[in-house]
Every structure is written in C-alpha cells, then in structure tokens.
Amino acid sequence: MKDEDLSRSIYEFMSEVGVEVPQLVDAGLELLAGVEKTKKLELSLETQMKKALEDINVVVLIVAGIRVEEDLQNHRIEGVDVDDDPAYLYCDEVLGMAIANQIAGTKAIFNFKRYDEAKPGIIGTLGPMLDDVFAGLVAGCMSKIFEE
C-alpha cells in the first residue's frame, strides 16, 4: 500500500473523533456577547473555519491533539493516566492557545480562555486534549472574523 493511500484530509481526522465544522460553528456562536446571531455571521465563521483548516500549522496541531488524545484514552503511554483531566496537565492548553494564536494572534488567546472554560456545544463533549484543541480553533476563528 502506498503512503498516499493512507492520506486523509483534516475533515476526515476530525470526523473520526466526532467533530464536524457545523458543530464547531454552533459552539462558536453560543458565546456571542453584544452581537446579534445572524446567518451572515454564521456563514462568516464557517468560511473562516474552513480557511483556518487550510493552514498547515493549524492542521498539524489539530492532528497532534487527536493522536495524543487517542494514546491517552488507550493508556498507551506508560506511567501517564489523565482519565480525570488532572490540573497539572497543561499541554492541552498549550495546543489550544497555539492554534488560536496561529489563526488570530494574541487576542485569540484571551478568547480561547472563554471557550476553554465555558466548553460550549461539541467542545464540552470532548476529552482533555481535544476540548482545548477545538476551543482554540473556534476562539481563533471568532477572533479573526471580528477583526475584519
């Protein structure tokens, strides 16, 4: 089997862990404050999310989070047990902040904190790595559409 036969899009990686762009758009719109939720805003967020998912750095950070999450869930790393999402595990936050920052810079890191704490929509159903990874994606995209 050739390497290209194993190749998958970021959308396929996301789908395998139960995450789709429309769910992330819904999560992003859940924390709107002082802004009316409109179809135009929803489409802007979806467009920005798809644009962000073309950035190789965003894609690699998301895939890294997906792979680590799988290893953690299956206890593949000897001596590492994060079933209860311990406070001393912060590399998940680092991944989320890196994604947010890659998309929209420093301001997105502050927005990341809001999404990380509130865990709206699909974000609240994900494991310790993926909730932060996708909170970072949503926060970065929300920050980006409001800067334009």
Beta carbons of 143 and 104 less than 8 angstroms apart? yes
Which residue ranges make up each domain of the chain? 39-147
39-147 CATH pick, 3.50.50.60, 1.10.3760.10, 1.10.3720.10, 3.90.1300.10: 1.10.3760.10
Distance CA 69, CA 74 (A): 9
Q: What is the DSSP string of 100-111?
A: HHHHH-HHHHHH
For the segment 3-44, what is each residue's pLDDT rounded down to a tens digit?
556 789 999 999 999 999 999 999 999 998 888 999 999 999
pTM of the model: 0.92
For the segment 105-123, what is each residue's pLDDT rounded down to a tens digit?
999 999 999 999 999 999 9
Question: Mean pLDDT score of the chain, rounded to an integer?
Answer: 92
Distance CA 28, CA 121 (A): 8
